[in-house]
Amino acid sequence: MARVAIVIVTYNSAAEIAGCLASLRHQPDAEVVVVDNASSDDTAAIVRSEGIRLIASSANLGFAGGVNLGVRETSAPLILLLNPDAHLLTGIGALTESMQAPTGYAGGLLLGDDGLPQTGFMVRRLPTPTALAFEVLGLNRLFPGNTVNRNYRCKGIDPMARGFAEQPAGAFLMFTRQAWLEVGGLDESFMPVWFEDVDFCARLRLAGYRGEYVPAARARHTGGHSVSTISVEIRHKYWYGNLLEYAAKHFGIIGFRAVAAAVALGALLRAVTGWPLHGSKVLRIYGEVFQLAWFRLMKSRTQLGTVAEQKCEKSGRRDK
């Protein structure tokens, strides 16, 4: 049995998958499996021509669903999750050697096409309500050097120094099968992409596992090849929707409502400032984002009221 299963989830990845697979040819003791999410291009044909095991789904399972399927169809104790646009530049031995308890997951160094480390992406801290509020309000883009953004994106780390990592990028992420089993795999409600890897790392942390950043393992990473095929309208719906889902799942009611309110306000600001340049299209896009956030805000108010009623009922029963 192979010690490592390398799981690659593809969706219209014909331009990237051959290079990714070529970079894996000299990885000893590793099983490679590609899960294709119903691509409409030549991705599946390219994988078959390389003699790599292919699991071709008849429907798009989303990134989390594809990962879980790939893990279930393998038996190795270690899993390396690799994006098709991440091409290995080194072996994976440094990652496998790092997987000693309590370490349950680890990521490596990602280099862009310019050869520079993808700082701010390849390793981050888990988001706080404030970090997400700053993000959706555009404050991190306007003032990238602010303390909240620097802390969230780990801007001060030495990219060549190994250390603790709360959230290595899902594009190049190793984890143990035991950890994956313990937390129930990736959450497939984050459809089709975004925040499923953040949620996975957060649940691993809650389960007591440690994350590592291991720069001795390196890959070149392009990024965004699949999502670029999604229309801007749908892309915003997925990203903001999954952000709100993450906030609802991991923050208390006050933190969640703060994030949802920030999404609603940010959508209004973007609609107003973008309308002179982009017209009705930007109004439609951010109008839908506002409605999404407003619906979740109203839903959270109902939940908050229900919790308060339950507390009153319990208090009343104690007084009797």
pTM of the model: 0.92
- Residue 309, pLDDT score: 44
- Residue 301, pLDDT score: 67
Of 20, 187, 95, 225, residue with least CA distance to 34: 20
Answer positive or negative: Cα dihedral of 151, 157, 162, 163: negative
Q: What is the pLDDT of residues 19-66, one digit of tens each?
A: 999 999 988 789 999 999 999 999 999 999 999 999 999 999 999 999
- Residue 300, pLDDT score: 78
Q: How confident is the model at residue 1 (pLDDT cuts 50, 70, 90)?
A: low
Residue 81 has φ and ψ, to the nearest 5°, of -90, 120
- Residue 277, pLDDT score: 83
Is 315 a residue whose pLDDT tops 50?
no
Q: What is the pLDDT of residues 179-203, one digit of tens each?
A: 999 999 999 999 999 999 999 999 9
Virtual torsion, Cα 225, 227, 231, 237, nearest 10 deg: -160
Q: What is the pLDDT of residues 134-163, one digit of tens each?
A: 999 999 999 999 999 999 999 989 999 999
Which comes out higher in pLDDT, residue 300 or 96?
96
Question: Residue 142: which H helix or E strand, with range?
Answer: helix 139-142
Q: Helices (DSSP H) in 217-279: which residue ranges? A: 232-250, 253-278
CB 301 within 8 A of CB 275: no
Residue 210 has φ and ψ, to the nearest 5°, of -100, 140
What Rg, from alpha-carbon coordinates, does the chain have?
21
